[in-house]
Amino acid sequence: MEQLPKWADLVVVPLVGLIMAFVLSMLMVLVTGHDPIQALKLMVSGALGSTYGWGYTLYYATNFIFTGLAVAVAFHASLFNIGGEGQAAIGGLGVALVCLFIPWPHWTIALLAASASAAVFGALWALIPAYLQAKRGSHIVITTIMFNFIAASLLNYVLVNQLRPRGSMDPATAKFPEATHLPSLGDMLGAVGIPFAKGTPANVSLFVALAACVFVYYLIWRTRLGYQLRAFGKSQPAAVYAGINPVKITIITMMISGALAGLMAINNVMGEAERLILGSVEGAGFIGIAVALMGRSHPIGILFAALLFGALYQGGAELGLWTSIPRELVIVIQALVILFTGALDNMVRLMVAKVLIRPKRAEA
Amino acid sequence: MTIMQKFLGASAAIALSAGAALADPAIIFDLGGKFDKSFNEAAYNGATRWAEETGNSFAEVELQSDAQREQALRRFAEAGSNPIVMAGFAFGNALGEVAGDYPDTSFVIIDMVVDAPNVRSVVFNEHEGSYLVGYMAAQTSKTNTVGFIGGMDIPLIRKFACGYAQGAKAANPDTTVISNMTGTTGAAWNDPVKGGELTRAQISQGADVVYAAAGGTGIGVLQTAADEGILSIGVDSNQNYLHPGKVLTSMQKRVDNAVYNAMMDGPGLETGLLVMGLGNDGVGYTLDEHNEALISDEMKATVDAVAEKIVAGEIEVHDYMSDETCPSLTF
């Protein structure tokens, strides 16, 4: 098969997949007896039609950028980290401990410390599966997914028995002190004169996520470690022959991946909930896999894929609020997008290739 | 502020096109979803009963994410829904922040106390109802062993378990109470297979009555108990009909009444703390045609006498939440 031009691979293929997913979704909405055009309008305008919608879309997108990057870094080394869920949950614990027990004078310092703590906690949670993979050959897919359950149980224990304020029914920590509250995007843009809906959860963590994108780009394509990591991912025996230590690369890659997943906690735990609740990650660790697949494991692709999934989440919420379309159907729509842009990617690519490459041959 | 105006216009148009008339009540279901055959469904039934009796409609939403709590509250309040009912303690924080911004809207929260002038907080004395069914379980048990299967291991479920154990030991001090929790994540509310396995494990330890306080997981508990020929006790809704003659009784928590009453009272409803216990039919055991053969007149008389003593304050049922300890059961 001839190679698709790069622009087609990066833009046309995901776009065609997306359109197919939406057409199918709208058919499903029609079958269940709702108006698909109105549903689509509501989803798009609800997610992107107002600064209020953007406030939520960007909040969800921030989560997905972190977890998407986490999965992507591991992908480059041919490691499949599906433990983002657990690493982000443990990252949340790191954020909570730092915010609750250290009196911070200002949010900027608290954010730095919480980021560091979230990253360290996430990285340590990824370290154990990484060690088992590198030294014992236990498959990383199995160990990371099992560590998700261990993380959930650990958090449950810590929240119910240790961090929960006495007499509270909710398995959650107390509210973090005022000084650790991060400014929301509304506050920040309002301060420079741009009107942006207040009371939306998007916050300063978005900029940390963007910085993480830049960091990952430089790490993968501009550093010696990144080169080793990619070489290891392409061919392990060749990498070993070239003098790359497979144990070291596996462990370092997984720790970076875990740190990125853990960093997500500054957005959802510190920025939005301002306390650690049970189940705070809400599947973002798994969505990160779809985001990384769709974004071709490239930071820019991940940025756009995360925005798309953020918009789907917020658009889905608007559907739930204003129509009687059941919540399950909203999940179906999200799943179809994942199916077409992630899993059926090759099918779409073949179709696009037929259309784009054949006319050229005819000319020749 | 043109953007803001556009946004307000858009949301108003959306509200109208979706057919939500203003001043209708709204109900927000927690992450478990409204058809859980248990807590949320009871709330949904209360709202539907109100809609059928009055011919009015209500707005509703099932949440998918914790971040949507505040969002749903604000959007409904801005769209003019009144009163806004939310089912679940997890709304406590969000409501605490939102209630003050909409002083003309009445909010009702179930299972949690939020102190604000426009909020009615409805809490249930689940430990009292659990005490009663524990009492009945111990009276019925021939092996002097009764079981408890909880959903997720959270304080609320320990409150159920603690009342149950105290009731069982009050009826018969020699009773052994076996207690298991299904899990530590939200999935524990909806894992009937594991519920069935735990039931089998408790049967092998001698239990012949099991009480399930586990949401959808309880369906598996009741099923296995019926299959294995022992008795079970349902929770929240009246679950006696699921396996007639095999379910001893159900500890009913009248969430439906709480929602129904709130919607009946309408905007400007009486706010403050509302405790629903044995005294005002907030909790209790159920007796209907499906389980009347299991409960003798003598047993009913004893249990009703116990209930009266609890209401009168002669029997004090320990509330796990008051000091987070349980004298009759260790977890």
3-state secondary structure A139-200: CHHHHHHHHHHHHHHHHHHHHHHHHCCCCCCCCECCCCCHHHCCCEHHHHHHHCCCCCCCCC
Average pLDDT over residues B85-90: 88
pLDDT at B10 over 50: no
Structural domain includes residue B105: yes
Residues of B in contact with A51 (CB under 8 A): 3-4, 7
Q: Is A97 left (phi over 0), alpha (psi -120 to 50) or beta?
A: alpha
| pLDDT of amino acid B6 | 45
Structural domain count, chain B: 2
CA angle (A312 as vertex; B75, A17 as ends), nearest 5? 160
pTM: 0.82
Structural domain includes residue A130: yes
Structural domain includes residue A3: no
| pLDDT of amino acid A359 | 63
What SS3 state is found at B107?
A: strand
The Cα of B145 is separated from the nearest Cα of chain A by a number of Å equal to: 28
Cα dihedral A344→A350→A352→A356 (10° resolution): 170
In a shared domain, residues B8 and B82: yes
Structural domain includes residue A206: yes
| pLDDT of amino acid A351 | 84
The pair phi, psi for residue B117, each rounded to 5°, is -65, -20
Structural domain includes residue B285: no
For β-strands B209-213 and B145-152, DSSP reports them as parallel
Average pLDDT over residues B153-158: 87
Closest in B66, B152, B322 to A277, CB measured: B66
Containing H/E element for A52? helix A51-76
In a shared domain, residues B160 and B309: yes
Chain segment A9-19, per-residue pLDDT in tens: 778 888 888 89
Compute the distance between CA of residue B307 and CA of residue A271 in angstroms, rounded to an integer: 48
Of A63-72, B65-74, B222-231, least confident by mean pLDDT is: B65-74
In a shared domain, residues B8 and B138: no
Closest CA to B125 of B284, B257, B330: B284
In a shared domain, residues B116 and B164: no
Alpha-carbon torsion (B162, B168, B171, B176), positive or negative: negative
Sheet holding B84-87: strands in order across?
Answer: B59-62, B26-29, B84-87, B107-110, B119-124, B272-276
Hey, of A56, A170, A264, which one would you mutate to test binding to chain B, going by the most B CBs within 10 A of its CB? Answer: A170
Structural domain includes residue A321: no
In a shared domain, residues B315 and B192: yes
| pLDDT of amino acid A361 | 60
Interface contact A327, partner B, CB < 8 A = yes
The Cα of A165 is separated from the nearest Cα of chain B by a number of Å equal to: 11
Band of residue A103 on the pLDDT scale cut at 50, 70, 90: very high
Q: Which CATH number covers residue B12?
A: 3.40.50.2300
Structural domain includes residue B81: yes
Compute the distance between CA of residue A14 and CA of residue A288 in angstroms, rounded to an integer: 16
Could B64 and A327 be called an inter-chain contact, meaning their C-beta atoms sit closer than 8 Å?
A: yes
- Name the residue range of residue B34's domain: 2-124+257-276
Contact A309, A62 (CB under 8 A): no
Residues of B in contact with A195 (CB under 8 A): 1, 3-4
Residues of A in contact with B321 (CB under 8 A): 167, 169
Interface contact A170, partner B, CB < 8 A = yes
Chain segment A325-357, per-residue pLDDT in tens: 887 887 888 888 888 877 777 788 888 888 877
Structural domain includes residue A216: yes
What SS3 state is found at A283?
A: coil
Closest CA to A272 of A190, A334, A209, A185: A185
**Chain B interface, Cβ < 8 Å to A:** 1, 3-4, 6-7, 10-11, 14-15, 17-18, 20, 33, 61-68, 70-72, 74-76, 89-90, 92-93, 111-112, 152-156, 184-186, 321-322, 324
Could A326 and B17 be called an inter-chain contact, meaning their C-beta atoms sit closer than 8 Å?
A: no
Closest in B18, B111, B185 to A279, CB measured: B185
Residues of A in contact with B74 (CB under 8 A): 199
In a shared domain, residues B114 and B184: no
The Cα of B294 is separated from the nearest Cα of chain A by a number of Å equal to: 35
The Cα of A325 is separated from the nearest Cα of chain B by a number of Å equal to: 10
| B-proximal residues of A, 292-311, CB under 8 Å | none
- List of residues 6+ apart from B234 with CB closer than 8 A: B212, B218, B222, B240, B242, B247, B249, B250, B251, B286
Nearest CA in chain A to B71: A200
| B-proximal residues of A, 51-90, CB under 8 Å | 51-52, 56, 59-60
Could A171 and B71 be called an inter-chain contact, meaning their C-beta atoms sit closer than 8 Å?
A: no
Residues of A in contact with B153 (CB under 8 A): 156, 160
Could B14 and A322 be called an inter-chain contact, meaning their C-beta atoms sit closer than 8 Å?
A: yes
Residues of B in contact with A330 (CB under 8 A): 64
In a shared domain, residues B201 and B270: no
In a shared domain, residues B200 and B130: yes
Residue A36 preceded by cis peptide, ω within 30? no
What SS3 state is found at B121?
A: strand
Give the helix ranges, DSSP H, for B172-240: 192-204, 217-228
Residues of chain B with pLDDT > 90: what percent? 64
Contact A54, A202 (CB under 8 A): yes
Structural domain includes residue A132: yes
Neighbouring C-beta atoms of residue A255, cutoff 10 Å? 21
| pLDDT of amino acid B206 | 95
Of A46-55, A95-104, A344-353, B91-100, least confident by mean pLDDT is: A344-353
Chain segment A195-217, per-residue pLDDT in tens: 888 888 999 999 999 999 999 99
Closest in A56, A152, A166 to B184, CB measured: A152
SS3 content of chain B, % helix, strand, coil (to 5): 45, 20, 35
Could A169 and B155 be called an inter-chain contact, meaning their C-beta atoms sit closer than 8 Å?
A: yes
Compute the distance between CA of residue B164 and CA of residue B146 in angstroms, rounded to an integer: 10
- List of residues 6+ apart from A292 with CB closer than 8 A: A68, A69, A71, A72, A75, A302, A305
| pLDDT of amino acid B40 | 86
Compute the distance between CA of residue A95 and CA of residue A66 in angstroms, rounded to an integer: 15
Structural domain includes residue B87: yes
Average pLDDT over residues A118-134: 96
- Share the mean pLDDT of chain A: 90
pLDDT at B15 over 50: no
Interface contact A114, partner B, CB < 8 A = no
In a shared domain, residues B133 and B114: no
Closest in B10, B89, B186 to A50, CB measured: B10
Could B67 and A195 be called an inter-chain contact, meaning their C-beta atoms sit closer than 8 Å?
A: no
What SS3 state is found at B31?
A: coil
Nearest CA in chain B to A57: B67
Structural domain includes residue B114: yes
Residue scoring higher pLDDT (B207 or B154): B207
Token couple for A64: 């997905």
Cα dihedral B214→B217→B223→B225 (10° resolution): -50
CA angle (B15 as vertex; B13, B20 as ends), nearest 5? 140
Contact A352, A4 (CB under 8 A): yes
Nearest CA in chain B to A201: B67
| pLDDT of amino acid B14 | 44
Compute the distance between CA of residue A66 and CA of residue A68 in angstroms, rounded to an integer: 5
According to DSSP, the residues that pair with B87 across neighbouring strands are B110
Structural domain count, chain A: 1
Compute the distance between CA of residue A315 and CA of residue B158 in angstroms, rounded to an integer: 38
| pLDDT of amino acid A2 | 61
Structural domain includes residue B221: yes
The pair phi, psi for residue B61, each rounded to 5°, is -150, 145
Hey, of B2, B14, B111, which one would you mutate to test binding to chain A, going by the most A CBs within 10 A of its CB? Answer: B14
Structural domain includes residue B289: no
SS3 content of chain A, % helix, strand, coil (to 5): 75, 0, 20
Chain segment A306-318, per-residue pLDDT in tens: 999 999 999 988 8
The Cα of B130 is separated from the nearest Cα of chain A by a number of Å equal to: 18
| pLDDT of amino acid A181 | 93
Could A320 and B61 be called an inter-chain contact, meaning their C-beta atoms sit closer than 8 Å?
A: yes
Chain segment B18-64, per-residue pLDDT in tens: 444 457 899 999 877 788 777 888 899 999 999 999 999 999 998 88
Structural domain includes residue A177: yes
Could B67 and A273 be called an inter-chain contact, meaning their C-beta atoms sit closer than 8 Å?
A: yes
What SS3 state is found at B183?
A: strand
Closest CA to B30 of B87, B68, B110: B87
In a shared domain, residues B176 and B300: yes
In a shared domain, residues B178 and B248: yes
- Name the residue range of residue A166's domain: 61-305
Compute the distance between CA of residue A293 and CA of residue B98 in angstroms, rounded to an integer: 38
- Share the mean pLDDT of chain B: 88
Band of residue B72 on the pLDDT scale cut at 50, 70, 90: very high
Structural domain includes residue A263: yes
Token couple for A260: 């990125």
In a shared domain, residues B116 and B143: no
Structural domain includes residue B263: yes
Closest CA to A204 of A106, A77, A292: A106
Of A146-150, A295-299, A352-356, B209-213, least confident by mean pLDDT is: A352-356
The Cα of A170 is separated from the nearest Cα of chain B by a number of Å equal to: 6
Burial of A211 (0-12, 13-18, 19+ CB in 10 A): exposed
Q: How large is the angle between the packed helices A107-131 and A140-157, nearest 10 degrees? A: 130
Closest CA to A5 of A353, A363, A360: A353
pLDDT at B16 over 70: no
Token couple for A29: 């909405």
The Cα of A156 is separated from the nearest Cα of chain B by a number of Å equal to: 6
Give the helix ranges, DSSP H, for B55-125: 68-78, 92-98
Contact B119, B271 (CB under 8 A): yes
Compute the distance between CA of residue B290 and CA of residue A298 in angstroms, rounded to an integer: 62
Residues of B in contact with A59 (CB under 8 A): 67
Q: Which CATH number covers residue A77?
A: 1.10.3470
| pLDDT of amino acid B20 | 42
Complex ipTM above 0.90?
no
Residues of A in contact with B322 (CB under 8 A): 167
Residue scoring higher pLDDT (A343 or A54): A54
